[in-house]
Structures are given as structure tokens and as C-alpha cells.
């Protein structure tokens, strides 16, 4: 009985329909090694039919809603005069922003350095104890600057939050990490 069960088990594992379409015949042989060629049995194998389609189901998906509200807030405003620079000044906004999704945080621009044609904006991201659950919060800080057009590099002291894909900012451990870039630059703003 065990042999029948073991032999029949593999048959249940395959999803196909096998129909023998020709019985076939074994080769006939004489003892003196004369033989007539035989014919192997033929089988018609039909595998399971698979239809691919779509269906509509109701599932839970996360939704992130960002509500932008206008508020009047105090924003630092710098007027920069560079000696021997005749380029016209223009009003610019220096802004840092990150998205946090695990814990609430605070983001502030701490310093702005200026060199001949470059501004270095140094911000700091501090993680707070408040857990956000399934919410995502965007943190921002900004200052206004009236100066000739200058290239701007942004650095944020702190760990890059999970899920923040903004590559405009470089996250650093501390200001010493970029000391070579700041060499010769002057602090024009400090919070």
C-alpha cells in the first residue's frame, strides 16, 4: 500500500491533463538478435490554462496630506555689501527643509558664511522626543538676503531623516567636517 501512495503523490503535484493518443508497441526481438523497430507511445499533454486579468479590491493605503497655510513670521533679512563688487544686488531666499517621519524635530539656520562668490548655509536638525506615528512633517527655516548673485551650498548638522529624498543638502556631523571649505570665509549671519 505504501508504494501506491508514494507513486501517486507526484501525480497530484502537477496540474496537467495527460491523454495517451497512440498506444505504441514494444520492439520484437529474436534470440539471435534480430529485431524489428518499435514505436514509442505518444501523449497529448495539456497544461493548466492561466488567464491574467485585473480585479478591483478595496485596500488600505497611506495618504500624506500637506496643508500649507500663510502666516506672518519674523524672518531674518541680510543686506550684503561686497567691497569692489559692482554686480547688482538681488533679493534671495535661503531655505532649508527636511521631511521627518519617525520623530518630530527642529530645523534652524545657525550660520551663513560668505566668501568671494559663495555662500555657505549651515543649519542644524535636532530630533525631539515626540513620535509621529504614521505622519510625515516638513520642517523648514529661511532667511532673506539682498546680495549679488552668489552660489549657495547647504549643510545640515544632524542625521539625515529616513524617507527624506531631498539631495539639495549635505548632512554633516559638525562644522569641523567642512572647515577646509569655510577657510577664509566670513560669518555674515549667526543665530
Summarize pLDDT for 12-46 with one digit per residue, the tens.
455 566 667 777 777 776 656 566 777 777 766 66
41/93 same-domain check: no
**1-10, 78-87, 153-162 — most confident range:** 153-162
* 52, part of any domain: no
- Residue 5 falls within a domain, yes or no? no
Model confidence at 67, in pLDDT bands (50, 70, 90)?
low
Q: Are residues 86 and 27 in the same domain?
A: no
Who contacts 48 (Cβ-Cβ below 8 Å, separation ≥6)?
15, 16
Evaluate whether residue 1 is within a structural domain. no
Q: Please indicate, yes or no, if residue 2 is contained in any of the structural domains.
A: no
Show which of 6, 29, 47 is a domain's final residue: 47
What average pLDDT score do residues 72-98 get?
81
Q: What is the mean pLDDT of the chain?
A: 78
Same-domain check for residues 38 and 87 = no
Instruction: Provide the pLDDT confidence category of residue 6 given band limits of 50, 70 and 90.
Output: very low
Are 89 and 156 contained in the same domain? yes
The boundaries of the domain holding residue 30 are 15-47
Question: 82 and 38: one domain?
Answer: no
Q: Do residue 95 and residue 173 come from a single domain?
A: yes
CA distance linking residue 105 with residue 103, whole number of Å: 6
The CA-to-CA distance between both ends of the chain, in Å, stands at 87
Residue 61 lies in a domain: no
Verdict on whether the full-model pTM lies above 0.75: no
Nearest partner of 132 among 159, 99, 156, 164, judged by Cα: 99
Q: Does residue 65 belong to any structural domain of this protein?
A: no
Domain count, the chain: 2
Amino acid at each position: 500500500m505504501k508504494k501506491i501512495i508514494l507513486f501517486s503523490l507526484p501525480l497530484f503535484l502537477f496540474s496537467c491533463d495527460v491523454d495517451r493518443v497512440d498506444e505504441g508497441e514494444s520492439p520484437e526481438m529474436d534470440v539471435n538478435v534480430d529485431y524489428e523497430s518499435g514505436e514509442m507511445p505518444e501523449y497529448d499533454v495539456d497544461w493548466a490554462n492561466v488567464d491574467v486579468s485585473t480585479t478591483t479590491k478595496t485596500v488600505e493605503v497611506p495618504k500624506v496630506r500637506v496643508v500649507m497655510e500663510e502666516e506672518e513670521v519674523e524672518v531674518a533679512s541680510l543686506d550684503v555689501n561686497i567691497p569692489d563688487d559692482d554686480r547688482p544686488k538681488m533679493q534671495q531666499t535661503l531655505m532649508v527643509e527636511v521631511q521627518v517621519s519617525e520623530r518630530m524635530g527642529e530645523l534652524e539656520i545657525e550660520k551663513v558664511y560668505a566668501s568671494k562668490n559663495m555662500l555657505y548655509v549651515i543649519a542644524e536638525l535636532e530630533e525631539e522626543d515626540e513620535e509621529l506615528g504614521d505622519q510625515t512633517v516638513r520642517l523648514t527655516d529661511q532667511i532673506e538676503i539682498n546680495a549679488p548673485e552668489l552660489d549657495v551650498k547647504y549643510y545640515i548638522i544632524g542625521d539625515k531623516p529616513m524617507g527624506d529624498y531631498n539631495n539639495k543638502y549635505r548632512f554633516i556631523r559638525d562644522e569641523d567636517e567642512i572647515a577646509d571649505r569655510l577657510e577664509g570665509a566670513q560669518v555674515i549671519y549667526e543665530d
